[in-house]
Structure 1
Amino acid sequence: MLPARTGFARYDFIAGEDAASEFIRAILPALTASGFNNYGVFRALSGAITAYNEHRPSSGPPMLLMQLSK
């Protein structure tokens, strides 16, 4: 069964900009629409992004795909 509420957001990193606030502004509407706009989700996102950043490949543009489901 598919979830009743879903959201989708894409963020393309642009060096030199305020990436953190741009990222949050890009994903916030999708998080809100799908019921994931809460502290626990932001904490999990932070952990996932930190782990990715510590072990990301050195070649090619960085890309991270996250899917959240209830």
Structure 2
Amino acid sequence: TVTGLVLKWLTGESRNDSSSRFVLGDGDLDIENICNRWAAGRFDTGVFKEDGWRFTTKVESQYLAQLYATIG
């Protein structure tokens, strides 16, 4: 089992200026819990790394290729 997650946020300077991070985790992981911890920790990505999540590429098509390769 693998859990894929796309973190997307606005920079606050513009409605059109957004950033995305693509994350994969092994197993059936609790997305709500990790996102709440991420927000409570002032959006420090270290909470994902602490729980074994892996940040992948910053390119969506490459992330999807990695996700599909993992799940077969």
* TM-score in terms of structure 2 length: 0.29
Higher strand proportion (structure 1 or 2): 2
* TM-score in terms of structure 1 length: 0.30
Higher helix proportion (structure 1 or 2): 1
